[in-house]
Amino acid sequence: MSKTDYILLGMDNEDDVLLFRLSARKASVLGNIMWLCTEEQIRGYFDGIGIYADRAICPLPSLLFLSGQLNGQPTLELLQWLTQHHAIRSVPVIITTATFDPEICTQAKTLGALECFGKPLAQADWAKLNTLLKT
């Protein structure tokens, strides 16, 4: 990942965001990181509406990390919406989950997620992700 990459985090827990940023820094991930904490914000961002309308300020990300749940609700419906949205179909989506439920990971991959990792991401996860993004 380069300094020009734009990473979007869809996470509702500030501690998870902090751990993500620390993990990314440790893995030498240099991209710009934007954090959104609700499904509504994420949909608005990808639709480019309201405060997210200016793509010079809010470009489509090169990668989306999406929590397995936002505000206590599974994000599988949001993932399905994201993968059906024509403008963003090419944005890789990575699901992160605190419980690492294999069933949720299988469903997420079926709906179009590139990969599913436990929280927080470990060095091995970043290495696997780097390999997946290069293929």
Model pLDDT for residues 5-25, shown as the tens digit of each residue: 899 999 999 999 999 999 988
Domain membership of residue 134 (yes or no) is: no
Q: What is the pLDDT of residue 5?
A: 83
- Model pLDDT, residue 131: 87
Non-local CB neighbours of 37 within 8 Å, separated by 6+ positions: 10, 11, 12, 70, 71
Inside any domain, residue 26: yes
**Is residue 5 one of the residues assigned to a domain?**
no
Three-state secondary structure call for residue 132: helix
* Residue 28, in any domain of the structure: yes
How many domains is the chain built from? 1
Residue 6 within any structural domain of the chain: no
Residue 111 lies in a domain: no
pLDDT band at 134 (very low <50, low <70, confident <90, very high): confident
* Domain of residue 27, residue span: 15-65+87-97
Is 107 inside a domain boundary?
no
Name the pTM for this structure: 0.89
Percent of the chain surpassing pLDDT 70: 95
Residue-wise pLDDT tens digits, 25-64: 888 887 889 999 999 999 999 999 999 999 999 999 999 9
For 70, the token pair is 């936002």
User: Which tens digits make up the pLDDT trace of 64-92?
Assistant: 999 998 988 889 999 999 888 866 778 89
Q: What is the DSSP string of 19-35?
A: HHHHHHHHTT--SEEEE
Give the mean model confidence (pLDDT) for residues 116-133. 89
Q: What integer pLDDT is reported at residue 1 of this predicted model?
A: 52
